[in-house]
Structure formats: structure tokens, C-alpha cells
Amino acid sequence: MKNPERFKNFASIMIAVVTVLSGVAACLATFAATQAGDADFEGLVASIKAQEADIVNRITVFEHYRAFTAYQRYNQLGNLLWEEAANADPALAETLHRLRREAWGVAGGLQYVFFPPRYINRDGSYDLKREFDELWADAAQQDDLTPEPYFSRADALRDRNLLLSADLIILAAAFWAFNLAQVIENRLKYLFVSLALLLTLAGIAIILLAQLIA
Amino acid sequence: MTPEQREERFEKFASVLIATVTILAAITAFLQAYASNEADRADRQAQDFSIRATTTRVNGALEFSYDWQGAFQTWRELDLQAASAEQEGDALAAERFRRLQDHIASLSPLLNPPYFDEQQNWPDPARYEAELYLVEATRLAEHFAAQAELSNAWSNIANVFVIQLTLLTVALSLYGLSTTIRGMVRWLFVGVGSAIVAFNLGWMAVMLIVELPELPAEAIDAYAQGVGMAYQGRDAEAIALFDQALAIQPDYANALYERGNAYFFLGDYQQAVADYQAAREAGRNDVTVGWDLGWTYYLLGQFDQAVLVNAQVLALDPTLIGIRMNQGLALLAQGRFDNAQLEYQQALDEAVRQVNQARSTGQQPPASLWYYLDAGAADLESLLDQINGTPKPWTQAPPPDLVQADFARLQAFAQEHIKRIKEMTVALEFTGQPPPGPGNANVSAFRFGQEIYDQQGNLVRFDEYQTFEYGVDEIAIWFDFTGIPPGAQEVWKIYRNGFEDQSLRTVSEWALESSGKGVKYITYAYSNIFIFAPGEYTVELYIDQQLVQRGSFTVAGP
């Protein structure tokens, strides 16, 4: 009469252990879901900052390019007037030179104030991409502009949450098997307790494995 | 079996039942977690797509702003300067400006093929915008909408599983309670608990096969390309792309609506109606689709349906002046003059309300208000042109044989309401109030022509024309007037081919005597560059917001 009592006590203790393990798994799953939400939020913040930087930089670059266009208009006008003056009679040449000086003066005034001449290429074009990339690099030094790592982390935490949720099924099955072992009076109870022990060990392994994700 | 044995046996049965339902609860919890995760993931993607769509649109608009108002405006200024120099015979200056133009053209893709038409000397901004950002922004916006819908669907499923978990908790409680009581009542508890579990199992099975609203990326891509084509007015190509999208996703509401628009612009109103209706059935039961559907029914002469759809849209938003006027128009075509009168009155009252409300709070009414008021009058004119057998190329009106109203009565009604709408528009725009009562101003019919002067600048004669030759740059309007108080507000509006050319609008105070002869010049002669574009021009004169005269002339083509 002593052995059945010991067996039932063992099964009861194991049921309690499985219940505690289920609580731990549920708690960790909830924690992972919360962390995933936080990571999503951080990713969206980074995404918004990145888009903001993109827009602000584009405004800056195209403001400069607009000024560069006006610069080109006057600078090239000065060049053409210079060419025309070279072939004109002296009186007309003086007029053309006056116009040329005026045009180049305007061009010079524009480049001193309204756009950075650093981005003018050797062929006279404006390096929009270089200016944009440099401004982007500046913005990236000041803020985190890369949302992808946060989103990846959120996805991994969701995977952890899902794994732990699945673990609850295994632990519930262990709980069921221990319960059955407790109520069965014949040798079959050893089969169920063995199954329950295996499921419990698997449940513990999954809890540990889930912590390795993310 | 002793009662104790029976009791022990029941308790064992209950504990196994509880353990079994616990597994079911664990499975439900897993499914709830899965659905909730998918909802969060789709929600995040929707937000990300939304942010990216906005940025793409803003960045594209910024870039286009440079291309249009930076590069093209500069190019155009140089073009005008070159044209002016050519007119003055200054070939050297003209050549200089042309070379500068070429230099500026190198700064923007808009000024180069395939976006620039050398023959017309004008860029194709619609194609440029479509390819620069519109297609991509549309694609991202569609992905946003699709992900948001998917997120909602997953959220609903997750919520259902939460309810199921609650029900399973109730079932577990009933099983637990059944072990504390005796007799038949315990079996009642077990029975109810088991019924709940069975119900849950069935519900769970249904949730596992529920169809999610997923929109394939290929359908979205084809749709976005179609929107880009439609934006360029390439409606046949747009239809082919919308067909592709609909072949993948037959109930793609946006594609149905946009294909309806493309058919509309191609003049296939029947097909447009079919697509608008399908779009509504697929979920686009909004004001925009209803508005277009009602208008297309009107153009087809299906006035009953037009009135019905307009009423549905007005039930959604009774402040829509444009659709209120459409309703008046459809009722007028049916010959229901009293109802039409009521709709027009409500539309004008609503316009007054919106202007007053905005201005009383230091704000402005929507810019579209002026457009819809103008369009309301233009639609009445189109209906008149149609029933009079003089439709214009821009006329949109139903076939005259389908108009059910008495033509003579319709003419009088339309003329009266065109005047009312026009006067209301001018009065609201310039005073914020409805027009005052009729004044005493009287202006004779306009005489359009050209004044001929001698070498000393004396007027020799007035050559009157109804149709001017191509190349005219100044037109004089002669008229007689009485009863105009000095200092009265004087507004001249000029319409070309049915649309106001606001660059020719003038607003001033009446500087002449109260009666006499007047002359008004519409002119481009201030420069040596512009002439009147070919077309039909209508001139309107408003004195103190009263439409006192209007007349038309034509400028012939080259």
C-alpha cells in the first residue's frame, strides 16, 4: 500500500512542477511580446527619423540646385558675352563687357551665399548625389536612421513568443499525462508518467532554447 | 460500488476532463499568440509603408518642384526672351538666349527626351511625375492599405481566440465546481462545460479556415503602373494594366474604380458605370465613387439611377456642393423643376454657410468651392447647348432625346440659375455675402472688334468681328451703359472653351460716369510675345456682383 501512495505523491509534485513551468513559459512569452512591441516602436521611430532626414536633406539639396541653376544661367551668359565681345567692334565690345561683368557678378554673388561651390564637378555639373550622401551621413551620426535591426529583433522576439506559446501545449500535455498516471491503477500509469516526464523535459528544453532567440 | 468509490471515480473523471481541456486552452492560447503576432507584424508593416509612401510623394514633389519651377521656369524665361529678341530682329541676343536654354536643359531630365517634346517645345510633366514618384508612391500606399486591412483581420481573429479562452476558463470552472457538489447537478455542470468546449472546438475550426484579405504584390504593381498611365491620360494603356491587376485580384476595388475612370475618359460610360458599381460592391462605397457613378448615370440619361446614387452620397455627406448641384441637374433633366429648384437653393445656401463659417473663424473656404460653383453653372450651360443642338467639344451632357423635361421651361430655369450661381460666386468671393438685390445697372450687348488708329493716334474706325483671325493680340469690347454708380465694384471674367482664364480677370472700381459709352480691352499687346489662343471666349461683366452682360467671340485657329 505504500508504493501507490508514493507514486501519487510523485505525480502530484510533478503536476505542481509542470504548472509552475507553464507559468514561467507564459510569463516569458508575455515578456517577449512586450519587448517585440517596444522594438517595433523603436524601429518606427528610426524609420520616421530616416524619412524626416531624407526630406529635409532633399529640400536643402534642391534649394542649392535651384541656386546653382541661376548661377549657371548668369555664369554661362557671361561666357557667351565674353565670346561675343571678342568679335565685336570696340563700342559694342565695351557694352558687352559691361553686361558680362554684371552677369558674372550675379553668378559670383549666388555661389557665395546660396549653394556650396564644393559640389561643382570639374565638368561644371553639380554633384547632387555627393551632397545628398554627405548630408545623410551627417544625419546618421546624430540619429539612428536604420529601422531594420529593430524590426528584425521584433520579429525574433515574436518567434520567441510563439515558441513559448507552443511550449504551453507541450506542458499541458505533460500535465494531462501526469493526471492520467495519477488516476490509473494498473501498469499503464508508468507509461503515462514516462511520457509526462519526457514532455516536461522537452518543455524545459524549449524554455531554455527560446532564450537563445534574439 | 460504494458511494465513496463512486465519488472517487467521478473525481478522477473530472480531473482527466480538466487536464484535457487544459490542452485545448493551451492550443487556443498558442493560436491567439500567433494571430496577435501576425496582426502586430502587419500593423508595423502598414505603418512603415505609410511613412515611406508619404516620403516618396513629398520627395518626388520636391524634386519635381525644382524641375518645373527651377529648371523649366528658367528655360521658359530664356525661351520668351529669345522669342522677344527674334521679334525685335536682334539675332545675336536671340542666339545667346537659345544657347543658354540648351545649357539649362542639361540640368534636368524634364527638359530632355523622353520627357521633352521638341516639336511642341514643351515638356510632359505628367509622364515625368508618374515615373519620378507617382507610381512608387501609389504602390507603397496600396501596400499600406493592404497591410492595414490584413492587420485588422488578424486582430479580429486574435480577439476571437481571447473570447474562446474566456469560455474555456468558464468550462474549466464548471468542471472544477462539479467535484464539490453531488447528485445530478454535478452532471449538469459537466454537461454545460462540455457544451461550451464543443462549441469552442467548432468555432476554432471556423477561425482556422477563415479567408484573410491578402492583396498580391503583382496586383498592386500592375495597379500602380495603371495609375501612372492614367495620370498621363494614356487611358487605354491604363485599362490594360488595371485588367492585369483585376485578373490577379478580381475584387480589387481601387483597380475597378480607376478602370472605371479610364473608361469614362475614353467616353465608354456604360463600362465606366459597370466598374464603378463593381468597385462599390467590392468595398469602395465612398463619396468619390458615388459622385462619379451618379454623374456617369446622368450623362447616360439614366436619371432615376443618378438621383438615387446622388441621394446616397448626400446622405453620407450633405455638405457637398458639387454633388448637390449634380442632383439638381439630374432632377432638372427629369423635369422635376420644384425638386431641382430646392437642390440648387440648398447648394447655394451651403456655399454661403461654408464661406461664412470659414471667414468668421479667420479661415478660408476650400479652393474647390469656387470650382464647383463655376462647374455648376457650366453644367447647366452644357445641358442647354446639348438640347439646343450646339454642343461644344467640352460639353458633358446627356443625349437630348433622353432629357424628359419640357425644353422651353428647362431653358428658362437654366438661364435663371446660371445667373444666380454666377452672381453668388462673385458675391461670396469678393464680399463673403450673398449678392445684393438687383441694381439699376444696364449694359447693352457687347460688340467685339478692333480699333483702328491713324498715324496721329486718332481712332479711325471700329472693325467689329464675331470671329477673329489667328494672331490677334488685342480685342476691344464696346458697350453702352446706364445706371452704374461711380465707385461700384466692376469685375470682368473671361472664359476660354468653358473655363475661366484667371490671368485675364480684372477687378476694379467703376471709374466712368453712371451712363454713357464704355470700352474694355482684353490685351496681350503689352508685349511682343503673346497672342490669343484659338477657341471660344465668353466675357462677363459684373457690377456690384450683378451679372449685367455677357457675350462671346471666337478666335480662329492658324
The C-alpha cell that represents B459 in the structure block: 481712332
Reply yes or no on whether the pLDDT at A2 is more than 80: no
Cβ separation A69–B54 shorter than 8 A: no
Q: Taking 70 as the threshold, does the pLDDT of residue A67 lie above it?
A: yes
Integer CA distances (angstroms), A126 to A67, A76, A119, B167, B557, in order: 11, 14, 6, 68, 43
**Averaged pLDDT for residues B420-443:** 92
Structural domains of chain B, with CATH:
1-212 (1.10.287), 328-435 (no CATH), 442-555 (2.60.40)
CB contact under 8 Å between B104 and A72, yes or no, is yes
Q: For B492-548, write each residue's pLDDT tens digit.
A: 999 999 999 998 999 999 999 999 999 999 998 888 888 999 999 999 999 999 999
Distance CA B321, CA B353 (A): 11
Interface with chain B: mutation pick from A47, A79, A129, A188, highest number of B CBs within 10 Å: A47
| pLDDT attached to residue A1 | 46
Name the 3-class secondary structure at B481: strand
Could you read off the pLDDT of B253-285 as tens digits, one per residue? 999 999 999 999 999 999 999 999 999 999 999
- Mean pLDDT (chain B) is 94
- Domain regions of chain A by residue span: 2-212
pTM listed for this prediction? 0.87
| Axis crossing angle, helix B321-334 with helix B287-299, rounded to the nearest 10 | 30
pLDDT in tens, B446-481: 999 999 999 888 999 999 999 999 999 999 999 999
**Cβ within 8 Å, pair B59-A55:** yes
What is the reported pLDDT for A214?
Answer: 60
Query: pLDDT over 70 for what percent of chain B?
Result: 100
**Which of A59, A165, A172 lies nearest to residue B33, judging by beta carbons?**
A165
Residue A40 has pLDDT above 60, yes or no: yes
Give yes or no for a contact between A49 and A143, defined as CB atoms under 8 angstroms apart.
Answer: yes
- Residues B300-325 pLDDT 10s: 999 999 999 999 999 999 999 999 99
**pLDDT tens for residues B64-96?**
999 999 999 999 999 999 999 999 999 999 999
CB spacing of A169 vs B30 below 8 angstroms: yes
Tens of pLDDT, residues A70-126: 999 999 999 999 999 999 999 999 999 999 999 999 999 998 889 999 999 988 899
Do residues B344 and B377 lie in contact, with contact meaning Cβ atoms separated by under 8 Å? Answer: no
Residue B47 binned pLDDT confidence (cut-offs 50, 70, 90):
very high
Q: Choose the mutation target among B21, B40, B81, B136 for the interface with A, i.e. most A CBs under 10 Å.
A: B40
pLDDT in tens, B340-382: 999 999 999 999 999 999 989 988 898 899 999 999 999 999 9
DSSP H or E run through A124: none
H/E stretch holding A41 reads: helix A2-86
Closest chain B residue by Cα to residue A26: B29
Ramachandran region, residue B362 (left: φ > 0; alpha: ψ -120 to 50; beta: rest): left
pLDDT in tens, B244-254: 999 999 999 99
Query: Which chain A residues touch B27 with a CB distance below 8 Å?
Result: 169
Cβ atoms < 10 Å from Cβ of B393: 8
Q: Say whether A51 and B44 touch across the interface (CB within 8 A).
A: no
Shortest Cα distance, chain A CAs vs residue B90, angstroms: 14
Taking 60 as the threshold, does the pLDDT of residue B117 lie above it?
yes
